[in-house]
Structure 1
Amino acid sequence: MCAREVEIDIERALFHPSGFGSMWTDVCPSEGCFGRHTFSLFGRKQRPVKRPLPPAKHPYSWKHGSEQGGFDLKVAAAVAAALGKKLTIQWFETENEEESFPDREANALISAGLCDLVAGYPMFGGALAEPASETALLPGHEGQNPATRHQFVELGVLAPSRPYHHAPLQVIVGPKGWGRLIETLSDLNGLSLGAEQGTLTDTIFMAYRAGYMASRVIHVVPQSGILSRLEEGAFDAILIELHRFDAYRRKHPDTQLRATNYRHALGFNMGFVGLKSRPDLLAQVNDVIDSLVTEEKFAPLADSVGMTFIPPNEPEILDRISPGHLFGG
């Protein structure tokens, strides 16, 4: 497998609904929900959405009726307050489908003027490059005029803020893995492994050391409750985005699952993204992020929503995913 082929495969896995693209979505039913969010620091009044939302409180963001919360919302509120701006949250509709492209949807919302910034955006070169197409379909969003459904929007070029946290992939084990020292993926030898088919972790498991673990991987359908399956004993260990385990642990405080100390070499810093044509706004946001880092504000915000806070890693933006990143664990 050549390096270019690896990059193509990983780009697809990154934006899979259960890959790192899930960082932009709450766990929601297959018909979709208003679970992604964007932030306007200059305030735009939105009508309330009338369809019910699931009550799950995702550590990054969630909305149920008039209630909403999550780490990214708290960060956005802190940034808006520091800038002296009113914060308005634009929730938008998403489908848990492979055809969903969160980067294009976020760009369309910003380019259409529905918001100024998107929070919780992966600092990855592929997600920050010039758009592959000139236009994208505007996703369904809260307060949407029916006349704008199926409307295409001319896309701008996105630019990132400084990251404010890191989102790692972490090994989670059931009782059979308790007490095991896991320093590399090879230390999972003897354990059965669960993976959501077609995701980044599936690629990592199946390709590790030329298929060393492939015979022990049990595939499940994405969005079918892989943590619950692990709890039931369908397999012994999984590699998953840490924020998903945080959400599960909050909902199931008596869980028998444990997070190991092993984090895969491939993870993504997360931050805000806005239009490259608005450098002054991004500069102001960066100043606030720097101040919040100095004042050590991010960890308490994460703790208040039951999320494990991991500070950003170097480099701030991962330009490309090499075979070394992918298979070096």
Structure 2
Amino acid sequence: MVRGLLLGLAALLALFGAPAMAQDLSVDELVAKGKSRYSRMCSRCHGAQMRNSGNSSFDLRKFPAEEFGRFRSSVTDGKGRMPSWGDVLRPGDIEALWAYVTTQAGSRDMPEAARAALAGDEAVPEEEGAAALETVAPGVLTVCLARNGGAMSGWRHDGGVGLDYLVSRALAEALNLRFAAAWYEAEGGTDPRAEAAALMSYGLCDLVPAHPLLESAVGAPSVPFGQMPEWLGQPDQWYRRNRIALEPIAVTAPYRRAEMGLVLAPSAGERDPAGLGDLGGLRLAYQGNTLAQLVVRMSAPPDLRADAQAEPPGAGFLWRMETGLADAALIEVGAYDFHRRQNSVTGLRLGSWRHPLGINLGFAVLARQDALRQAADAALTGLLESGQVAAFAAQSGVHHVPPRPPLGPATLTMAAIARLN
């Protein structure tokens, strides 16, 4: 019954931009979809409604109607000064753009040559070994990546940057699948399952990186329905009140570990504290409503806990540290990496101590996609053992901490946190 409900819901979601193959849409529907994509991503260079002299960029009105393969290659991989859009467009978007271009922005019928070229080139051959893996787009591994992912992921016109982005691309290659990124604005929330479940249940992607290997972060979300975060290329008619039926999720083997450390201001001198109990004489700050606050309140020495300063969470926290807010801050290491990227002349430094409470991170996957999860487990293990993940971290300018046992979903309790210091 639940499966039937999900299938019925999928049909309704198609009206709001759920992934659909080009052959399921009429030419008029393709043109309307292509118009939305063109105005958002192409009109700046190629002109509104394709009105372009061709002096500064190609005049798309002259594109040969029989060369869909050339069109797809140019859009996906880029050409000359034109950036590649393969990491941005969703399945079916290129066909919609082709319909928009070959109908002269919807002003004429689609030429028969354009229809024939599309029909003859729409089937994408699957890579060897990829046929057994069910994915949103056949032969493609689509990964949802946070545009606001700090040092771990960020969108660029020519693809993306960050450790999570590079690992996602390498994972697709290891699975013999082509790679596509679906960029969204991460919002977080009280239930770590909800956002990832919404993205994958809607069909935007197959995997979501940086998912905690915690018992509380797998399985069915705490609510049966959820909302999608904002994402790049979302339909113009999408409304935030649209609700998604959330499926249970699982998590792959981990590829990195999130840990907390002490960021030290110049006022701390040359000190390198060996833990929270070694901060005597230093002023400590932390971000409120975060794991750091919980750690300080439950495991810091009483005098340090009483004097520690709680601050609003967000990227501005370390900028306030630059201006003398405190001598030391307990913060997630990745947040320091991002701050250092934003401020290459920072006076802050990361101490060598790490709090023993760390969380292994893998890729979220729908629980029913067990074959994909198992294949990703093996591929990620290979990427770790070969040193590729560590190399990606160095390339991205971030600290990489390998996963530590237990490698399966762990249980995080208040009592366990209280025992750590």
Query: Aligning the two structures, in what range does the TM-score lie when normalised by the shorter sequence?
Result: 0.7 to 0.9
TM-score by length of 1: 0.78
- Structure 2 vs 1, CA of residues 63 and 242 (structure 1 numbering), >3 Å: closer, same or farther? same
- Structure 2 vs 1, CA of residues 57 and 167 (structure 1 numbering), >3 Å: closer, same or farther? closer
In the alignment, which residue of structure 2 is the partner of 1:76? 168
Aligned-partner Cα distance in 1 for 2:148–2:242: 30
> Matches of residues 38-187 of structure 1 in structure 2 within 5 Å?
44=91, 58-95=150-187, 103-149=193-239, 150-187=241-278
Count the aligned residue pairs. Answer: 279
Letter of the structure 1 residue corresponding to residue 215 of structure 2: G
Query: How far did residue 207 of structure 1 move?
Result: 3.1
Query: How far did residue 277 of structure 1 move?
Result: 0.6
Query: How far did residue 101 of structure 1 move?
Result: 5.1
Q: Secondary structure at the match of 2:252?
A: strand
In the alignment, which residue of structure 1 is the partner of 2:37? none
- Structure 2 vs 1, CA of residues 229 and 45 (structure 1 numbering), >3 Å: closer, same or farther? farther
Aligned-partner Cα distance in 2 for 1:207–1:160: 29
- Structure 2 vs 1, CA of residues 318 and 45 (structure 1 numbering), >3 Å: closer, same or farther? farther
Letter of the structure 2 residue corresponding to residue 241 of structure 1: E
- Structure 2 vs 1, CA of residues 94 and 283 (structure 1 numbering), >3 Å: closer, same or farther? closer
In the alignment, which residue of structure 1 is the partner of 2:402? 311
Query: How far did residue 314 of structure 1 move?
Result: 1.0
Provide, for residues 234-260 of structure 1, a one-character-per-residue CA deviation record: whole Å limited to 9, x for no partner. Answer: 100001110111111223222221111
- Structure 2 vs 1, CA of residues 128 and 301 (structure 1 numbering), >3 Å: closer, same or farther? same
Gaps of 5+ in 2: 1-86, 95-146
Query: How far did residue 154 of structure 1 move?
Result: 1.2
Provide, for residues 177-224 of structure 1, a one-character-per-residue CA deviation record: whole Å limited to 9, x for no partner. Answer: 243242221101211111122221122223335743233212222225
Matching residue within 234, 237, 248 for 2:325:
234
Matching residue within 335, 350, 363 for 1:272:
363
- Structure 2 vs 1, CA of residues 65 and 297 (structure 1 numbering), >3 Å: closer, same or farther? closer
Pick which of 202-211 and 297-306 moved more: 202-211
Contact 1:118 1:272 in 2 (8 A): yes
Q: Secondary structure at the match of 1:280?
A: helix
RMSD: 2.4
Contact 1:178 1:258 in 2 (8 A): no
Higher relative contact order (CA 8 A, sep 6+): 1
In the alignment, which residue of structure 2 is the partner of 1:290? 381
Larger radius of gyration: 2
More helix by percentage: 2
- Structure 2 vs 1, CA of residues 167 and 290 (structure 1 numbering), >3 Å: closer, same or farther? same
Contact 1:45 1:88 in 2 (8 A): no
Letter of the structure 1 residue corresponding to residue 385 of structure 2: T
Q: Secondary structure at the match of 1:143?
A: coil
Query: How far did residue 325 of structure 1 move?
Result: 2.5
Aligned-partner Cα distance in 1 for 2:222–2:420: 29
Q: Report % sequence identity.
A: 28
Letter of the structure 1 residue corresponding to residue 171 of structure 2: V
In the alignment, which residue of structure 2 is the partner of 1:200? 291
Pick which of 158-167 and 179-188 moved more: 179-188
Aligned-partner Cα distance in 2 for 1:232–1:308: 24
Instruction: Report runs of 4+ in structure 1 exceeding 6 Å deviation.
Output: none
In the alignment, which residue of structure 1 is the partner of 2:131? none
Aligned-partner Cα distance in 2 for 1:279–1:129: 13
Q: Secondary structure at the match of 2:322?
A: helix
Query: How far did residue 129 of structure 1 move?
Result: 3.5
Query: How far did residue 312 of structure 1 move?
Result: 0.3
> Matches of residues 210-249 of structure 1 in structure 2 within 5 Å?
211-223=302-314, 225-249=316-340
Aligned-partner Cα distance in 1 for 2:215–2:386: 29
Query: How far did residue 146 of structure 1 move?
Result: 3.8
Q: Secondary structure at the match of 1:265?
A: strand
Pick which of 221-230 and 149-158 moved more: 221-230
Letter of the structure 2 residue corresponding to residue 82 of structure 1: A
Contact 1:122 1:268 in 2 (8 A): yes
More strand by percentage: 1
Pick which of 71-80 and 103-112 moved more: 103-112
Contact 1:265 1:325 in 2 (8 A): no
- Structure 2 vs 1, CA of residues 270 and 153 (structure 1 numbering), >3 Å: closer, same or farther? same
Letter of the structure 2 residue corresponding to residue 314 of structure 1: P
